[in-house]
Structure 1
């Protein structure tokens, strides 16, 4: 069960709706202004949970990282930073047995980029909370 008491069973919905991004204004604002930072932090948090089984003590790490620079480069040069986000969204969906498919992930990150980043961050935060992490740390 995650912090919202939702089971990790196959075919469940996201814990927070795509349009619920305004419920976490700080993350939503960061996703709108600096999607590269939000993407890189989400990716690092997910990878840390996968490798260590505990929340990342730095909650996504530094403000700017290699993943952030790559996202920025692809966005500035090809308007394609969102392509990197498809894999991370798919990995989060798989980790929590959330229904969906790669095509839906592609459409979501292309058309609703900041909202998708916020939704992914909130899903990760639920696992981190259930493992003892809190936003105040």
Structure 2
């Protein structure tokens, strides 16, 4: 069973700051989304640089961003809508990145803080419980 996205693909005006960032600096949005979706396995900085370089030289950066959309959909059981992930990124890359960014925000992430920033504040991030300081045994002996 799949659920719906919290915002539509073309709902850019619901958050103009994300829309502007996605239009003028899609490499930043791509990096931030990739870091959160990969749970810190992908660096925002390096993914953003990779996106910018691929887009500058080949205009094929959508090829790497559609994979993170697929991952995001899998994590939250989202519909593959309005068409498959690669087509969405090919035809509307900036809009797709912005929708993914908004989805993460609406699920409680501060996307700009990155994975570590969210983990330290426990914002929608599942982390392992803190370990207690060893085994303690209380004794009745004084």
The alignment's TM-score, normalised by the length of structure 2, stands at 0.69
2:28 paired residue among 27, 37, 41? 37
Superposed CA RMSD in Å reads 2.3
Alpha-carbon distance, 1:48 to partner: 2.8
Alpha-carbon distance, 1:132 to partner: 4.4
**In the alignment, does 2:8 pair up with 1:11?**
no
Q: Aligned equivalents of 1:19 and 1:67: distance in 2?
A: 24
Structure 1: give runs of 5+ residues left out of the alignment: 1-9, 52-60
1:48 paired residue among 36, 39, 53? 39
Q: Aligned equivalents of 1:106 and 1:88: distance in 2?
A: 10
Alpha-carbon distance, 1:116 to partner: 0.7
Match of 1:98, SS? coil
Q: What count of residue pairs does the alignment treat as equivalent? A: 111
Q: Aligned equivalents of 1:21 and 1:92: distance in 2?
A: 19
Structure 1 runs (4+) deviating above 6 angstroms are none
Q: Aligned equivalents of 1:87 and 1:127: distance in 2?
A: 20
Q: Quick one: higher RCO (CA 8 Å, sep 6+), 1 or 2?
A: 1
Instruction: Give the corresponding residue for 2:78.
Output: 98
**In the alignment, does 2:107 pair up with 1:118?**
no
2:67 paired residue among 64, 87, 99? 87
**Which of the pair has more CA radius of gyration?**
2
Structure 2: give runs of 5+ residues left out of the alignment: 110-121, 125-142
